[in-house]
Amino acid sequence: ESTLTQSPTFMSATPGDKVNISCKASQDIDDDLNWYQQKPGEAPIFIIQDATTLVPGISPRFSGSGSGTDFTLTINNIESEDAASYFCLQHDDFPYTFGQGTKLEIK
Amino acid sequence: QVQLAESGGGVVPPGRFLRLSCAASGFTFSYFGMHWVRQAPGKGLEWLAFISHDGNLKYYTDSVKGRFTISRDNSKSTLFVQLFSLRPEDTALYFCARQGTANSGIDSWGQGTLVTVSS
């Protein structure tokens, strides 16, 4: 079973900033990692597929990188609407596992 | 437009049983694998179970193996999960979610149904 370690667990940013969220897998998962955004009281939204592919309809300010065990979600030119929690999910093998999540606050 | 609507949540005492349902629409349900995921209050997401498009393959996370059972009725485009021997730590918002094509992980989510295990 591959466990995912996300960091940081909380971060604060100012509009216009660039932020990076890390997700590290305990074993090689190739590029089988997705990213999701979740706002309070809402269902998660799929934003990055297979480590680097932007889901259609998602702002190009979001991007993903990495493969193997180290992955990064980058948000460019932060906007107030980006305030949310972000989770990574490995779908390399069952059981699927999520990272612990990163809560992003916008100042 | 993919729509997933969970139901069946509520307040139950420890040790009891609950069955959750997820009504799917906007896509051909029988073509897609499906998942259950939960989120305890103020916590992160926990993947629980998967069922293949035809129901022949099922996988569970260790913490619910033997207590939760995933199933589906393709004729009614409905996903189920049976929760046995409920514990206070099972208190959570339970989401159903769709497996994307080509082993791309979860691509769509319902809004969730809340299960509270309390005496």
Write out chain B's pLDDT in tens, 119 residues: 999 999 999 999 999 999 999 999 999 999 999 999 999 999 999 999 999 999 999 999 999 999 999 999 999 999 999 999 999 999 999 999 999 987 889 999 999 999 999 99
* CB proximity A60 to B under 8 Å: no
Q: How far is CA A10 from CA A70, A104, B88, in A?
A: 19, 6, 27
Q: How far apart are the first and last CA of chain A?
A: 37
- Band of pLDDT at residue A1, cut at 50, 70 and 90: confident
Residue B77 confidence (pLDDT): 98
Residue B104 confidence (pLDDT): 87
Q: Do B47 and A49 touch (CB under 8 A)?
A: no
* CB proximity B7 to A under 8 Å: no
Residue B88 confidence (pLDDT): 96
Euclidean distance between CA atoms A105 and A6, whole angstroms: 16
Q: Do A91 and B59 touch (CB under 8 A)?
A: no
Residue A55 confidence (pLDDT): 96
* CB proximity A82 to B under 8 Å: no
Q: Which residues of A50-83 are buried (b: 16+ CB within 10 A; e: fewer)?
A: bbeebbeebeeebbbebeebebbbebeebeeebb
Tens-digit pLDDT profile for residues A37-93? 999 989 999 999 999 999 999 999 999 999 999 999 999 999 999 999 999 999 999
Euclidean distance between CA atoms B64 and A20, whole angstroms: 33
Residue B63 confidence (pLDDT): 92
Q: Do A87 and B45 touch (CB under 8 A)?
A: yes
**CA-angle at B55, arms to B51 and B56, nearest 5°:** 100
Residues in A closer than 8 angstroms to B100, CB to CB, are 49
Residue B110 confidence (pLDDT): 97
